[in-house]
């Protein structure tokens, strides 16, 4: 089966057929297929198939995929934005960095924002990490557990560059922001602590009006 003949399978009712079609598209990459693969990312309902679509796109030359994905990053469809950002993070071409705007980091859709955070820490140019950390820290306290954990991981991935922004957030007037910042600090110091433990411990510290172990992140 050729890549061209496999592509119609991307719209089949059976997700296993769609998965095989995406696999074939990546196994025998053809630049002519990039547009079809990118378009399908915006509507594909199955997570495993979306992951295979992303893999297939990473098998193509960035010169063919990145421009198409940058268009999707500005789509009105949240899944299109999210999957495009996810794929850009896997490709890792830093020419895509200008597309990671403050608006995307604060996207109202949690999945889009999480994808933007992950892409940002992969694509950020050397020296821009502190500025990115400030932008990420503005999202502390946002969303449910998975969203907060994603943000903590993104901040931690920036290394020491995120410490000043995190320290400022530990004194934020919103207790949810302070707790999230303190939990992130705990995970920075002890990656084995576990997010649930870190959050609960941070909430207790905030309730008691403290700054947490270490009294903030300054001096680390």
At 125-160, the pLDDT tens digits run 999 999 999 999 999 999 999 999 999 999 999 999
Q: Regarding predicted confidence, which is higher, 217 or 41?
A: 41
pLDDT band for 70, please (50, 70, 90 cuts): very high
Q: Averaging pLDDT over each range in 4-8, 102-106, 196-200, which range is the top one?
A: 102-106
CATH 1.25.10.10 residue ranges in the chain?
Answer: 1-123
- Rounded to whole angstroms, how far apart are CA atoms 162 and 24? 41
DSSP state of 71: H
Q: H helices within 92-215, ranges in order?
A: 102-105, 110-123, 129-137, 145-157, 163-169, 175-189, 195-207
How much is the pTM? Answer: 0.86
pLDDT band for 66, please (50, 70, 90 cuts): very high
Burial class (CB in 10 A: 0-12, 13-18, 19+), 102: exposed
Whole-number percent of the chain with pLDDT over 70 = 86
Q: Give which of 12, 83, 31, 74 is closest to 52, Cα–Cα.
A: 83
Q: H helices within 47-144, ranges in order?
A: 47-58, 62-72, 78-91, 102-105, 110-123, 129-137
- Rounded to whole angstroms, how far apart are CA atoms 21 and 49? 9
Q: Give which of 47, 58, 68, 48 is closest to 25, Cα–Cα.
A: 58
pLDDT band for 91, please (50, 70, 90 cuts): very high
pLDDT band for 207, please (50, 70, 90 cuts): low
| Mean pLDDT across the chain | 89
- Rounded to whole angstroms, how far apart are CA atoms 35 and 93? 18
Q: Give which of 198, 184, 106 is closest to 143, Cα–Cα.
A: 106
Q: Regarding predicted confidence, which is higher, 85 or 190?
A: 85
Q: Give the pair of three-digit tokens for residue 17.
A: 């057929």
- Rounded to whole angstroms, how far apart are CA atoms 44 and 56? 14
Q: What is the pLDDT of residue 216?
A: 45
Fold exhibited by the domain 1-123: 1.25.10
At 3-15, the pLDDT tens digits run 344 478 999 999 9
At 46-65, the pLDDT tens digits run 999 999 999 999 999 999 99
pLDDT band for 198, please (50, 70, 90 cuts): low
Task: Give the range among 57-61, 94-98, 201-205 with minimum mean pLDDT.
Answer: 201-205
Q: What is the pLDDT of residue 5?
A: 41
């Amino acid at each position: 089966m050729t890549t061209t003949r496999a592509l119609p399978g991307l719209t089949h009712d059976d997700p296993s057929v769609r998965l095989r079609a995406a696999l074939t598209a990546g196994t025998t990459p053809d630049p002519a297929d990039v547009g079809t693969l990118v378009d399908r990312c915006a509507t594909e309902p199955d997570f495993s198939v979306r992951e295979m679509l992303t893999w297939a796109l990473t098998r193509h030359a960035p010169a063919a995929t990145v421009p198409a994905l940058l268009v999707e990053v500005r789509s009105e469809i949240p899944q299109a934005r999210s999957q495009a950002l996810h794929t850009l993070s896997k490709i890792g071409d830093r020419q895509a960095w200008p597309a990671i705007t403050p608006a995307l980091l604060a996207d109202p859709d949690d999945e889009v924002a999480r994808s933007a955070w992950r892409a940002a820490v992969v694509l950020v140019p050397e020296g821009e990490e502190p500025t990115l950390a400030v932008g990420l820290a503005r999202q502390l306290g946002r969303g449910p557990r998975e969203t907060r954990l994603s943000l903590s991981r993104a901040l931690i991935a920036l290394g020491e560059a995120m410490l000043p922004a995190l320290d400022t957030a530990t004194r934020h007037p919103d207790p949810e922001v302070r707790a999230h910042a303190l939990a992130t600090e705990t995970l920075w110091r002890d990656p084995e602590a576990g997010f649930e433990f870190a959050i609960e411990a941070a909430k207790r510290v905030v309730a008691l009006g403290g700054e947490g172990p270490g009294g903030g992140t300054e001096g680390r």
